[in-house]
Amino acid sequence: MSILPASSLLAHMSSNENGAPTTFRASLVIPCFNEGKRLDVAAFRSYLSARHGVRIIFVDDGSSDDTVEVLQRVCRGYEDSTHILKGGKNRGKAEAVRMGMLYALNQGDPQIVGFWDADLATPLEAVEKLLRILDARPDIDMVFGSRVKLLGRTVNRKPIRHYLGRIFATVVSVALGIAIYDTQCGAKLFRVHPDLREVLAEPFLSKWVFDIEILARYIALCGNDPARVEQMIYEFPLQKWTDVEGSKVRPKDFFVAISDVIRIRRKYRSGRRLDPAASAEHRREAI
C-alpha cells in the first residue's frame, strides 16, 4: 500500500517485494471523500482476497474524517494490489477520478482501467462481468454499468432519483447525440489506448457529471461523430444496485448537472480536438 501526494502520482512505479514490477490486468479507481462511515471494509477485503488480477487504487479527495484510516484497514495485507493516493485539498469527484486513472495508466501495463463508487452501490462482483464483455468484444472500448430495473434483477433506487435520472439521461442523449440509458452509474471500465490518455489529459469542467464530458471528448476525437462513439460503448444491465444512504448527491444538484451538460455541449459540439499544448501543461502540473 502506498500513500502518495497528488504531486507525485505519475512519478511512482509499483513493484512487488522482490523489486520486480507488478502488473495487473485491470486497475480500478475508487474516489473517496469523507467515506469513513460508508466504506464496507469486509466487502473490499473479500474481493481483494480472491486475487482477481485487479489493482484497486483509492483516491482520498481531501477527506476531513477517518477515511484514510479506514482505507488503511482495507488495504492491510494486500499492499501488492492496492494503493491509497492522497490528493490534499478537496477538488471534487471528477478530479479524483481523473488523477487516479492517470496514475493507473502509468503503473505497469494495464489493459483496462476504470472507476467504481466507494459505497459499492454496484457490488464488486460486477467487475468481472464487465471485464468479460471487454474480453468477448474487442470492438468495444467502454463498458458502463446500467441501472435497469428488470424482473429477476435487484435495482433499488429512490423514486425521485430514478425519475430525475431518466430526465437527465434524455437531456444527455439529445445533447450528445448518443442513445445512452444511464450515464451516471458509478461503475465504468475503459480499454487502454492513446485516446484515453488524451481524454484524461485536461481537468474536467464539471465536478460531478464528468462522465458526460468523457463521452463528449471521445466524440470530439472521433471527428464529432456520435455514431462512432456509440459503437465503442456497451451498457451492461446490472444484476444488483442499491441506493446506499449518505450519498452527497441531492435532488437540487439535478439543475447544476443540467447546466454543466449545456456547458459541456457548448465546449465540444464543434468537434474541437483537445489542445495538445494545454494537455501537455496539465500533465507537467500533475507530475
What would the pLDDT profile of 223-267 be if each residue is shown by its tens digit? 999 999 999 999 999 999 998 887 766 767 888 889 999 999 999
CA distances to 25, 28, 54 from 111, rounded to whole Å, are 6, 11, 11
Cell output for 17: 517485494
Nearest C-alpha neighbor of 4 from the set 41, 57, 63: 57
Name the CA dihedral angle for 18, 5, 7, 27, rounded to a multiple of 10 degrees.
60
* Contacting residues for 215 by C-beta, under 8 A, at least 6 apart: 176, 178, 180, 183, 229
In 9-70, DSSP assigns E strands to 26-32, 54-60
Phi, psi of 156 (to 5 degrees): -105, 105
- Residue 274 pLDDT more than 80? no
Beta strands per DSSP E along 141-269: 142-146, 154-156, 187-191, 233-237, 240-242
Phi, psi values for residue 171, rounded to 5°: -60, -45
Q: Looking at the predicted structure, is the pLDDT value of residue 9 above 50?
A: no
Average the pLDDT over 259-285 and give the result. 64
Given a cut of 60, whether residue 120 has pLDDT beyond it is: yes
DSSP letter assigned to residue 168: H
> Quick one: 1-120 is in which CATH superfamily?
Spore Coat Polysaccharide Biosynthesis Protein SpsA; Chain A (3.90.550.10)
Domain boundary assignment for the chain: 1-120, 121-275
Rounded to whole angstroms, the Cα distance separating 194 from 249 reads 32
Rounded to whole angstroms, how far apart are CA atoms 216 and 176? 7
Q: Kind of pairing, strands 112-116 and 142-146?
A: unpaired
Phi, psi of 63, rounded to the nearest 5 degrees = -60, 145
Q: What are phi and psi of 255, to 5 degrees?
A: -70, -35
Residue 10 has pLDDT above 70, yes or no: no
pLDDT tens-digit map of 19-68: 333 568 999 999 999 999 999 999 999 999 998 899 999 999 999 999 99
Per DSSP, the three-state class of 200 is: helix
Give long-range contacts, CB 8 A cutoff, 24+ apart: 133-142.
133/234, 133/236, 134/189, 134/191, 137/234, 139/231, 139/232, 140/191, 140/232, 140/233, 140/234, 141/190, 141/191, 141/193, 141/232, 141/233, 142/188, 142/189, 142/190, 142/191, 142/232, 142/233, 142/234
Q: What is the pTM of this model?
A: 0.85
